[in-house]
Amino acid sequence: MSKTQQYTIDDLRYLMQRLRNKNDGCPWDIAQSYKTIAPSTIEEMYEVIDAIEHNDLSQLKEELGDLLFQIIFYAQLGTEDNAFDFTDITTAITEKLLRRHPHVFPDGTLQSRRANGADITPESIKESWNKIKQQERGSKGLDSLMADIPKALPATMRAIKLQKRAASIGFDWSDTDGVYQKIDEEIAEVKDAVTHQRRLANEHEQVDNNAMALAAEAVSEEIGDLLFSVINLARHLKVEPETALRIANNKFEERFSKMEKAATEQQTSLHDQDIRKLEQWWQNTKA
């Protein structure tokens, strides 16, 4: 049996060029832009994560290829716009990593090495990393510590980054006790906002729509503050909140599916049960 054909990054770049060729390329690929393929990039990223969480290395190989193709696609678009090419991308990330790892590349070159026995610690590396990133923000004219945190990040990830940036200058709780107190405070504020909203709803004939809308916004804002505080607790406990929530989602889905199976075995459906029966089945799935 002959060996399977092997392809390199250059082959993939050539393939991308062919797909975008206006004479004999693919009409769909030719029609794409940075914005139109952005949703696919997000989707591919989550498929990579899903393969990792399922420990499916064969699937991970495929998903990483799909994600790599997204980068190749952007590089081709940049080349066509005379903005950047694939080499510019690899150069930029290599320069950044060399700059951010002086404890590995002291002269800022790939060939340089630190002296044997040099005293480095995780704490000193973190301090150096933060200083370098601050210098990078300054060189870009970003005067705010938060300026370069993308607003398009998933909310949990952005919350973590905002909190870490604030913590880098000492604006943080010294221990988890303060975070627990903050969560209790936020829960109380949610309850107050909901109580106010319900009072207005009971007086709907005397209350205008604007007041009701403001009350609903207040509840939403307080829920957001509560979630932000819970994410802060996760950060202090060194728990990745996005991962923890995905695990909780999967656990809920599995237990609910068991409830549906139990109902089917009893020749009924969940729709036909009252809350007490549903709660009983739920506890059975947990047991």
What Å distances lie between residue 129 and 97, 101, 119, CA to CA?
A: 10, 8, 16
**HSE-CB for 30 with a 13 A CA cutoff:** 10
What Å distances lie between residue 36 and 40, 41, 78, 111, 174, CA to CA?
A: 8, 10, 14, 40, 44
Which residues fall within 8 angstroms of residue 26, CB to CB, at 6 or more apart? 19, 20
pLDDT tens-digit map of 18-65:
999 999 999 999 999 999 999 999 999 999 999 998 899 999 999 999
11 vs 128 pLDDT, higher one: 11
3-state class (DSSP) for residue 147: coil
48 vs 206 pLDDT, higher one: 48
Q: State if pTM tops 0.75.
A: no
What CA–CA distance (Å, rounded) separates 244 from 230?
12
Looking at residue 2, what is its pLDDT? Answer: 54
DSSP string, 218-258: HHHHHHHHHHHHHHHHHHHTT--HHHHHHHHHHHHHHHHHH
pLDDT tens-digit map of 89-121:
999 999 999 999 998 999 999 999 988 867 788
| Average pLDDT along the chain | 91
Looking at residue 1, what is its pLDDT? Answer: 44
> Looking at the predicted structure, is the pLDDT value of residue 129 above 90?
no
pLDDT tens-digit map of 161-178:
999 989 988 999 999 999
